[in-house]
Structure 1
Amino acid sequence: MTEQTNENHIDITGLDKAKVLKTLIDHANCMALSDDASLLATMQPPVEIETVRAYIEKDGLTVDYILGKPIKVDLTGDSFDPWLYDRDHGQGRAQQAIDILKAPHEDVDK
């Protein structure tokens, strides 16, 4: 099966899928039912990379919600469609997150 790419897809060729998912989680807004839950969600530290790897091992790379955050991406290929992620978090938000991941810096695991 050939991966269908689209000009709107975000290229993640060569990137560690766990780091891609961690970045998307860290840049996502929590969808909480109450103001108190929303406040608590914004106070959460970034998710640990080990937690993300365990999630992938258990549930795979087609992601709906994690930690109350709508991620809604399929990371099984070398690119993904950001439409649903951007719908929930703001236009261009997925690309911004991946650009940050791709930018040279010391340690993305923190």
Structure 2
Amino acid sequence: MSEQMVSIKGFDKAKVLAALYNGARAQGAGFIHYDPTPMGEEEARELLQGATYFDYLKGRVMKVDLSGDEIDPWGYDRDNGDGAVAEIVAALRHTDDVNPEEVELRHKEGTRDAAIYVEEHVDDMTHSTVPIVKLGLGDLAHLIKPKIKEVLDETDEDA
């Protein structure tokens, strides 16, 4: 995982949030709230009025704090791919576009990979053998399965 902070000094934080959101993937139970629609600057600006730390947004895993001039990429990169924050910020710097082709592709590929994994495990039930609890998705399968089908059908059409 990336350990080096990523500078966002001089960037409009609404653009940074929108670009990171647009590059993030859905995963796990987040598929229940997954929305494939890209985020624009205005929506991001509204969200930043209420918070600067984002764990999940519309089912997409974020794990970012935008309160300063640097982002610790550890959580975002852990779930969205090593170097993802740096690559997305570099794309934003280069294009000034919150959803350039490389960011959109990162989102689609990551979401498809996560959907395949969830599809394989969606009927797993939660198991507890103290001191370890293995959380399954079986209790949420009826909510997750339609979303997984939607993601996989959409990506099959794009292929």
User: Closer, same or farther in 2 for the Cα pair 1:81/1:54, shift >3 Å?
Assistant: same
The 1-side partners of 2:95 and 2:37 are apart by: 22
RMSD between aligned alpha carbons? 2.3
TM-score after normalising by structure 1: 0.76
Q: Where does structure 2 lack aligned partners over 5 or more consecutive residues?
A: 100-159
Secondary structure at the aligned position of 1:95 is classed as helix
The 2-side partners of 1:32 and 1:52 are apart by: 23
Aligned with residue 36 of structure 2, among 34, 38, 44: 44
The 1-side partners of 2:66 and 2:29 are apart by: 27
The 2-side partners of 1:29 and 1:21 are apart by: 14
* Paired amino acid for 1:29: R
Bigger RCO (CA 8 Å, 6+ sep): 1
User: Greater Rg, structure 1 or structure 2?
Assistant: 2
The 2-side partners of 1:109 and 1:75 are apart by: 16
Q: Where does structure 1 lack aligned partners over 5 or more consecutive residues?
A: 1-6
Count residues with an aligned counterpart: 97
User: Closer, same or farther in 2 for the Cα pair 1:109/1:10, shift >3 Å?
Assistant: closer
Matches within 5 A, 1:1-110: 8-33=4-29, 37=31, 41=34, 44-58=36-50, 60-104=51-95, 108=97
Runs of 4+ in 1 over 6 A off after TM superposition: none
The 2-side partners of 1:62 and 1:93 are apart by: 17
TM-score after normalising by structure 2: 0.54
The 2-side partners of 1:56 and 1:62 are apart by: 9
> What's the CA shift string for 1:40-65, capped at 9, x where partnerless?
94x7231122111111112x211111
- Aligned sequence identity (%): 34
Structure holding more helix per residue: 2
